[in-house]
Structure 1
Amino acid sequence: MTDGAGSNIRSAYNVLFAIAAIAAIASALLGENARWLHYISKPLATALLLFIVVQTVTPVSKRYQWAVAVGLVFSLCGDIFLMLPQDMFVAGLICFLITHCAYIIALTSNVRLAAVPATFVACTLLALAIVWDLWSSLPAELTLPVTVYALVLALMGAQAISRAQHLATHSAKLAAIGGVLFLASDTLLAYGKFRFTIPFGPFWVLGTYYAAQWFIARSVAKSE
């Protein structure tokens, strides 16, 4: 496949991803009347990002590429669990926990864990502060899973940021943006689910979520 053909395919997938993500957000806002569209568009958006990652010809490294791909596979499973009418929050939480572990594996492929200690301290303290603030609103059976998830998410975000601080490459900066947006998305999701109603919640939660995944998927390519 020529570089031009590969670029055209990636562009097409990016456009399709944007359409699917917008449809997922819009259908979530519309509620029951558009549930069928949500069931199609939400997993489709993540699947398209997976295709983009797998088809990247010049990745940062094979380990980075396939770790991100594994993360997106579990994100896809998590998307499905969280959109079902049954309460499968814990199953979705576990899937996204594995996603963040996979992303950490990718992000440590060329920069050691905690390369910038101050970043890790800041992200950990932020995660603990959010859990502490939500603690009284969490069901007892979810306090441990949510705490573990928050710490692993913070670890992923901190590694993405510190990696960008260490390498300062375009790819590393894209991953860092993705990590920060994932922190924002999951924080919004947690507050919206356990604390208070966020106006137009799906717009903010899914908007930051899909942006985070897109930046992480784009970070796989060595150069764009």
Structure 2
Amino acid sequence: MRKKEILWLYVFLFAALADVAMIVNAEISYRYFTKPLIMIALLLYFLQSTKLIKGSLLRITVSVGLFSSFLGDVLLLDGSLFLFGLGAFFMTHICYIVAFKLTQNHTLNLFKVNFIKMFVYNLPLYIVAALIYFLIHSQLNELKIPVIIYIMAIVMMVTMARERFGRTNKSSFWQLFIGAFLFFISDSLLALDRFFHPIVDGDLLIMSTYILGQLLIVMGIRSHLVQIK
């Protein structure tokens, strides 16, 4: 790993730990500095480590996804901008869905897809997503439609991560799948904390799973590229 790459990784880790410390100590005002830096550092790390695929669709989609995450982080610092933050993270999930499909060692053939088998494999995820919506739907009011669309997007993202099994190296699959699932957990905790019932240490759990999830997604994509190289 080159010096410039690892430098931004250290900045990411420093910003993540600093943000977690601000949450623990209830220093919310300082999070306007620590929280945005997390995704900016991870984006710069990704750009530094993927120079060999400069201009590729994969690099562009992941970069847009990380930048959208940065925008979402900033917007969610203000509770009144929740819908805009939701929109930014929706864009992140769309970008990741495309990226996850691009990091598979096969071409899609709809005639060979076993949709029943796919449904059964993904059924636990569908059940969890449906349960979360059931718990929060009465508090959503005008946000019902945007939240339904968002849930569909994040479920599709995790599904696409699972579909990579056997279509990339093991390291890439597990890093990215666990990362996508942690992202799902983070968003689920956020929804429950905001629209169902406050969670003890909710902000800490939400950010911890989110930060680790994003890092593992980037590392999973990087592991796939290392294998190709």
| Larger deviation, residues 140-149 vs 68-77 | 140-149
Change (3 A) 1:132 1:49: same
How far is the alpha carbon of 1:168 from its aligned partner? 4.1
Same amino acid, percent of matched pairs: 27
Q: How many residues align?
A: 215
TM-score, L = length of structure 1? 0.86
Cα 1:181–1:162, aligned 2, differ >3 Å: closer, same or farther?
A: same
Q: Tell me the alpha carbon deviations over residues 93-139 of structure 1, each in whole angstroms, 9 at most, x when there is no partner.
A: 00000100000010111444988713334323321222112222x23
Structure 1 residues 67 and 169: CA distance shift in structure 2, 3 A: farther
Match of 2:6 in 1: 11
Equivalent position of 2:126 in the other structure: 124
Q: State the structure with bigger RCO (CA 8 A, min sep 6), 1 or 2.
A: 1
Instruction: State how 1:59-98 maps to structure 2 within 5 Å.
Output: 62-84=56-78, 86-98=79-91
Contact preservation (8 Å) 1:180, 1:212? yes
Residue of structure 1 equivalent to 2:201: 200
1:30 corresponds to: 25
The 3-state SS of whatever aligns with 2:163 is: helix
Contact map agreement 2:6 2:45 (CA 8 A) in 1: no
Contiguous gaps of at least 5 residues in structure 2: none
- 1:104 and 2:97 equivalent? yes
Q: How many Å apart are 1:78 and its aligned residue?
A: 0.5
- Identify the residue that residue 147 of structure 1 maps to in structure 2: 148
Distance in 2 of aligned mates of 1:122 and 1:200: 26
User: Structure 2: which amino acid aligns with 1:215?
Assistant: L
Structure 1, unpaired ranges of 5+? 1-5
SS at match of 1:164: coil
What is the TM-score with the length of structure 2 in the denominator? 0.85
Structure 1 contact 75–96 (Cα < 8 Å) conserved: yes
- For the residue of structure 1 that corresponds to 2:19, the secondary structure is helix
Q: Counterpart of 1:22 in 2: which secondary structure?
A: helix
Q: Secondary structure at the match of 1:198?
A: coil
